[in-house]
Amino acid sequence: MKHTKLTLITSLIFIILVSACGRSNTPSGTTAEATDTQTPTATQPPMAITINNVGISVEEFQQELTRLQQAQTQLGVSSTPEEQKQKVIDDFTDQLLLEQGAYQAGFTLDHATLQARIDALAAEMGGQDKLTAWESTNSYTADSFSEAMRRNIAVAWQRDQIANSVPITADQVHVRQILVQTEETANEILAQIKAGADFATLALTYDPVTGGDLGWFPQGYLTQPEVDTAAFALQPGQTSEIIKSAIGYHIIFVIERDPQHPLSPDARRVLQEKKLAEWLDAAKSSSQITLNVP
């Protein structure tokens, strides 16, 4: 019932390499230096995606689509050409929005810092020749790889800002549940509870391992939203009515509630993912997005 999330990586090798050099340890105080990629020019190539007058060229889009297809083949992932194209559209849209958000929030990256990241990556790979060969195999030029690195570092910085805005405590409830597969059984159990049966004892009957203890969780954490909503509508010591969800019939008991309970690492991760999704939705709604994908 608790969230898990797996993210399909557009280009597995590229993300692994860039992540080693450019994610959470991105400096926030680097010196500003203007980059030509931030301002479209009269001679810019045809754009596949444009967001607020900044875009991804048709050539770059096609190269990334090829990298995605190669990565999926290596990983044994099957998807249709339309799904692959939509994946690249979605990824580039998110990247551009996050990149723009980073610069608007004060992120800066000068050429020397960017080059130092690339040099460090080359050293990790065994030398500049190895990096150059990898770039060629994966349809990058030195310039396009540098631009991809620059964008990735900005995106990682902005993701960190959003993630770090989620506090380490939250309003949480500690809940025990009984989950069964038929409404008839659930009605029988609820009748026993209302007649005075001990909830914890009944819960052990249906879940001998944990006794139905869901632990502490913040609102929006459970994968069954009906249960999540019901839990936060109850006070400590209260029992719910029968709650129907996609996985069965639930009866829950709120053991305790704390408005500032420390978040578990997994719960904070889920809230960070939700915060990022909300940020991206808001950015999309306030941005001018044009698609000319071939």
Q: What is the pLDDT of residues 105-163, one digit of tens each?
A: 999 999 999 999 999 999 999 999 999 999 999 989 999 999 999 999 999 999 999 99
Q: Which residues on neighbouring strands pair with residue 254, listed in sequence order?
A: 175
Residue 110 and residue 216 share a domain: no
Give ∠ CA 133-138-144 in degrees, rounded to 5: 90
Q: Tell me the CATH number at 124.
A: 1.10.4030.10
Are 60 and 193 members of one domain?
no
In a domain, 223, yes or no: yes
| Structure letter (DSSP) for residue 208 | T
DSSP letters spanning 125-175: HTSHHHHHHHHHHTT--HHHHHHHHHHHHHHHHHHHHHHHTS-SEEEEEEE
Residue 17: inside a domain, yes or no?
Answer: yes
Residues 209 and 85 in one domain: no
Do 148 and 226 lie in one domain? The reply is no
CA separation for the pair 277, 280 (Å, rounded): 5
Q: What percent of the chain has pLDDT above 70?
A: 86
pLDDT (0 to 100) of residue 2: 53
Instruction: Look up the pTM and report it.
Output: 0.79
> What's the total number of domains in the chain?
2
